[in-house]
Amino acid sequence: MRYEAPSSLEQAVGLLAAASGDARVLAGGTDLLVQMRTDVLNPELVVDIKHIPELRQIKEDSAGFRIGAAVTGAELKEHPRLKDVWPGVVEAANLIGSTQIQGRATMGGNLCNGSPAADSVPALIAAAAKASVVGPKGRREIAVEDVMLAPRQLALTKGEIIASFILPPQAKGSADAYLRFIPRTEMDIAVVGCGVCLTVDDKGVVSRARVALGAVAARPLLVEEAAKALLGSKVDDAALRKLDAAAGAACKPIDDKRGTKEYRIKVAGVLARRAAQIAFERARKA
């Protein structure tokens, strides 16, 4: 294995594009090193992207937040503004692993690891985040919901790297929330995860909504029917019942040791209701 730690995106892209064998991007390494250790992956080249300035920064301007793909969970939590504007995204990223894992794990890695249960991904999808991707042909933006195609399969071509995530400016009366269910209090992989982002108008009615689910299909889902259930409502019981049904109907889960299909469908509806209520309460104060 060859290890490279380039200081620019151009160099990183060049190295990945020129690799003859399996080439992997190293951000926090909390998934990659486990996969290398267990011989799931045996890369010929590992490109450490943590020396590239854009990937390690959080910037806020009129276009919203731009979060470097290699910013760690601990750094997201410590940012003075991010958790006020995007509490759901920060909560989701902070649910990944232990304190030790938070010191290294990144949202870029969480997405590119290609797990349907990645915690930060439904929150980013609900937030309408875009991935800013740099490759041999230049830079492009992809909606986060379009990055992962199936387990371990991404819509990135050879040499492409996610450089940062762009979170759009949060309109007045908007807020997000993320909830995950695991069989214990800490340190497990989602049975279901649900991100909700809402905008509430000055009459207290939901004027915009996005709902995303994780761990209930081959990839994280943006669930438009679930968002429609909330639109025009004050997140009352009737809207929540419709949301519950729409979230459950969108699930195409598997049975595994963490839960059966039926259980995941049930929990998806429950989490969607609860996350919508949290986002609604936050949005009314935002």
Partner 1 sequence: MAKHHITATVNGDPVEFLCEPQETLLDALRDQLNLTGTKEGCSTGDCGACSVMVNDRLVCSCLMLGVEAAGKSISTIEGMAQGDELHPLQQKFLEHAALQCGICTPGFLVAAKALLDKKPDPSETEVRYWLAGNLCRCTGYDKIVRAVLDAAAEMRGA
Q: What is the 3-state secondary structure (H, E, C) of 105-174?
A: CEHHHHHHCCCCCCCHHHHHHHCCCEEEEEECCEEEEEEHHHCEEECCEECCCCCCEEEEEEECCCCCCE
Q: Are the C-beta atoms of 75 and 58 separated by less than 8 Å? A: yes
Describe the chain by its helix, strand, coil percentages, rounded to 5. Answer: 35, 25, 35
Could you tell me the smallest distance in angstroms from the CB atom of residue 37 to partner 1? 6
What phi and psi values does residue 224 have, to the nearest 5 degrees?
-70, -35
Single residue of 97, 114, 159, 269 touching partner 1 by CB under 8 A: 97
Q: Please name which of 100, 108, 105 lies closest in space to residue 132, comparing C-alpha atoms.
A: 108
Token pair for 132: 């800013």
34 binds partner 1 per the rule CB under 8 A: yes
100 binds partner 1 per the rule CB under 8 A: yes
Instruction: Determine the interface stretch with partner 1 among 10-18, 33-41, 117-125, 172-180 (rule: CB under 8 A).
Output: 33-41
Could you tell me the smallest distance in angstroms from the CB atom of residue 214 to partner 1? 20
Q: What track of x and - describes contact with partner 1 for positions 101 through 130 (by CB under 8 A)?
A: x-xx--------------------------
Instruction: Determine the interface stretch with partner 1 among 2-10, 15-23, 126-134, 202-210 (rule: CB under 8 A).
Output: 2-10
157 binds partner 1 per the rule CB under 8 A: no
Q: Are the C-beta atoms of 278 and 179 separated by less than 8 Å? A: yes
What phi and psi values does residue 141 have, to the nearest 5 degrees?
-110, 135
Single residue of 30, 106, 132, 199 touching partner 1 by CB under 8 A: 30
For the chain, give the number of residues: 286
Q: What is the CA radius of gyration of the chain?
A: 19
Could you tell me the smallest distance in angstroms from the CB atom of residue 112 to partner 1? 16
Please list every residue from 212 through 231 that binds partner 1, using CB under 8 A. none
Single residue of 39, 61, 186, 237 touching partner 1 by CB under 8 A: 186
Single residue of 6, 11, 50, 225 touching partner 1 by CB under 8 A: 50
Instruction: Determine the interface stretch with partner 1 among 85-93, 133-141, 183-191, 244-252 (rule: CB under 8 A).
Output: 183-191
Task: List residues binding partner 1 (CB under 8 A).
Answer: 1-3, 5, 26, 28-30, 33-34, 36-38, 46, 48, 50, 72, 74, 97-101, 103-104, 185-187
